[in-house]
Amino acid sequence: MIATGKNVTTVKEGDFVSAEMHVACGKCYQCRTGEAHICQHVKIIGVDANGAFAEYVKIPESNIWKIDPAIPADYASVLDPLGNAVHTVLAGEIAAKTVAVIGCGPIGLFCIAVARACGASEVFALEINEHRRKLAEKMKADHVLNPAKDNVYEYVMNATEGIGVDVILEMSGHPDAIRLGFKILRLGGRASLLGIPSKPMELNLADDIIFKGAIVQGINGRLMYKTWYQMNALLKAHKLDLDPVITDRMALTDFSKGMDRLRSGESSKILLYPNGMPKK
């Protein structure tokens, strides 16, 4: 994206930028205490206002993020979902921990990269879609499992000396996957939930959270703007290889072709180029 605007001092026309899509009010209790990502009056660009599948989009100055030249230009358009992954992985201790990533859509795949870069000792990726499991392997998950076929519980318990994983990162929003996640979580482990179940679901609070002494975190958006600084630091240091997640590249005018690809279940992140395909 190319920034432009009057009365704006921190970016200038021609800067190569990305943007945080949560627009916070700046005045509520959450905004005033460092939790703007869960602002009471948040507006999400693309949900509460027209989004960025467009040549021009209006963004408040505070939400603009300049892209460091050391970061691959292709990554600029996936920073919002990458931020979800960074926020989720770093919401608690991750170094030297075993972690299960549940659901390997783009954010789940990003989680694999971030967890590995930040010292997770073993990453288990759970995913029923074959194409996504292949991507999870390309992202170098240590174990890639298919919950529709594999006995995930037994496998994880064997691999963790009967203890279970230290951390689950729930990206699927599927009730069965969520329940499975809690089963493989160790006593005192962390469950960070980002995937959104479509309706209320049954949960065994007694066995899965209370007796277990588990910590459950609802994860929403990205910390404004701590997550962006973290992302920037990891990308500049070349700690994250996101290439496998970008499965398709096309001109913005081929927008509807991109939507077809998404529906096929055989693509992950699709880059749209506003000025046509870049020359390599």
Residues lying near a second copy in the complex (CB under 8 A) = 10, 27, 29-30, 32-35, 37-38, 40, 86, 90, 93-98, 117-119, 121-122, 142, 163, 173, 178, 186-188, 193-206, 209-220, 223-226, 229-231, 233-234, 236-237, 239
Contact call for residues 82 and 110 (beta carbons, < 8 A): yes
Q: Which of 34/51 has CB closer to a second copy? A: 34
Q: Which of 230/268 has CB closer to a second copy? A: 230
Least separation in angstroms between CB 267 and a second copy: 26
Give one word for 223, left, alpha or beta, with left for phi > 0 and alpha for psi -120 to 50.
Answer: beta
Q: 203, exposed or middle or buried, with CB in 10 Å at 0-12, 13-18, 19+?
A: middle
Q: Which of 36/152 has CB closer to a second copy? A: 36
Q: Which of 76/118 has CB closer to a second copy? A: 118
Peptide bond preceding 225: is omega within 30 degrees of 0, i.e. cis?
yes
Least separation in angstroms between CB 125 and a second copy: 15
Q: Which of 26/276 has CB closer to a second copy? A: 26
- CA distance linking residue 176 with residue 131, whole number of Å: 20
User: Quick one: CA dihedral 235, 241, 243, 244, positive or negative?
Assistant: negative
- CA distance linking residue 183 with residue 204, whole number of Å: 10
C-alpha distances out from residue 121 to 114, 144, 169, 237, Å:
12, 15, 15, 20
C-alpha distances out from residue 226 to 37, 135, 260, Å:
11, 28, 35
Q: Which of 30/129 has CB closer to a second copy? A: 30
Q: Which of 58/238 has CB closer to a second copy? A: 238
DSSP label of 62:
G
Least separation in angstroms between CB 160 and a second copy: 10
Q: Between β-strands 122-126 and 98-102, what pairing exists: parallel, antiparallel or unpaired? A: parallel
Q: Between β-strands 165-170 and 246-251, what pairing exists: parallel, antiparallel or unpaired? A: unpaired
